[in-house]
Amino acid sequence: MRRVVITGIGVVTPIGCGKERFWYSLEQGASGVDRITKFDVSRYDCKIAAEVKDFDPLDYGMNKKEVKRLDVFSQYALAAAYQAIEDAQLSFKDKNPNIGVIVGSGIGGLSTIEDESKQFFLRESKGKNSASFVSALFVPMIMPNAAAGNISMKYKLNNSSMSTASACATGLHSIIYAAKDIMLGDSDVMIAGGSEAGITPLGIGSFSNMHALCKEYNDEPQRASRPFDRERKGFVMGEGAGIILLESLEHALKRGARIYAEIAGYGLTSDAYHITAPDPDSYEIARAIQLALDRAGISYKDVDYINAHGTATPDNDLSETNAIKKVFKDAAYKVKISSTKSMTGHVIGGAGAIETAACLFAIERGIVPPTINYENPDPECDLYYVPNKAEHCEVNVAINNSFGFGGHNAVLLLKKYNNK
């Protein structure tokens, strides 16, 4: 098995586009949550979300013609891929047979679905031939694999190209399977991550009606996302993309690349319990964490930081806390844990990749991002969640947790690179 390292980072998030802006916001404990501006929310129970701000796709290697053919989630993914490639200082030849792409989305092109549906049914109601007006690009724009396909075409990447669609575990699944591709020798370089643009009327309406979204802080949006806090009322919808560039260690060293961290282990399990709720016994989450430790050959005592899934839903936060206790035993009360969803909101398919970038920040800069809005300790969620302020400390080993609707559990273990 070949060693796999991370050499490039690209992010489009509600707290900043680009690695440096994103990392600065993490350190400052900045919130990206505000009142929704994408559509009229006056009749909605939930009026808040974490929207991407100041985003122009033309700043990231796209032209106007391309943009018209891309749903927003694909635009975010292409922008993050552009950043990751630039950050890694990777130059491409005309064809790249040893470079692949795995980029997914939990939902796909929801805004395109809504826009086209409105026009279709409006014409239908007027007795017009509505089918003849459906865009020929409708399906290519909405399909969850559109981001991966467009990245492959943009950079002429001829190795494996695919997408994952495992809800909130999508981004981390993409990175893990990309790493496995390199470990097995099928690729030298992989571009991997996830993207989401689900802040739409249907997206907000659906998550709100299943009682997953926070509706209690419409007048104080920046206080709304409060993982592990006793007063947590549900997650805040976010949007954006995270793309990570992975290489075999040999390939990275040969070209003199800067290495952020090494992928040392991973764990993949399924609750096989419920389509939306986590299994209360948290056994499979704990097993995924243990698998990651075992594959890395690392003791739980040596983990410095856990970027929690931490959605701020009552059941999810409790289940994750109990899983950490099962694996870490007494050390569970010493390890630093935080949920950066307190700042970015929940980016669904993009969450795991964006949070991998947060783990790389902790390893690279020696700064653990905080869980903001942690004001009321929950006696059942009683671990150390790095409350409200970032903390400076050496981080040699970091774990990233992502758990998705459908019971999908993904855990990634990163460690500081050394040449041994």
Would you call 346 a catalytic residue per the annotation?
yes
Would you call 168 a catalytic residue per the annotation?
yes
Give, to the nearest 10 degrees, the angle between helix 72-88 and helix 146-155: 40
DSSP state of 369: P
Query: CA–CA separation, 84 vs 356, rounded Å?
Result: 13
Torsion-angle region of residue 61: left (phi > 0), alpha (psi -120 to 50) or beta?
A: left
Count CB atoms within 10 A of the CB of residue 91.
7
Would you call 392 a catalytic residue per the annotation?
no
| The one catalytic residue among 173, 251, 309, 408 | 309
Query: CA–CA separation, 403 vs 254, rounded Å?
Result: 36
Tokens of residue 188, six digits? 């030298």
Count CB atoms within 10 A of the CB of residue 141.
23
Q: Are 178 and 242 in contact (CB under 8 A)?
A: no
If DSSP codes are grouped into helix, strand and coil, which group holds residue 192?
A: strand
If DSSP codes are grouped into helix, strand and coil, which group holds residue 264?
A: strand
Q: Are 413 and 265 in contact (CB under 8 A)?
A: yes
**Among residues 393, 371, 397, which one has the least CA distance to residue 384?**
371
Cα-Cα-Cα-Cα dihedral sign, residues 240, 396, 189, 407:
negative
* Residues pairing with 247 in the sheet: 5, 189
| The one catalytic residue among 17, 214, 251, 346 | 346
Reported as half-sphere exposure (CB side, CA atoms, 13 A), residue 145 has a value of 9
If DSSP codes are grouped into helix, strand and coil, which group holds residue 70?
A: coil
| The one catalytic residue among 17, 46, 168, 359 | 168
The type of residue at 407 is G
For the annotated catalytic residues, the residue numbers are 168, 309, 346
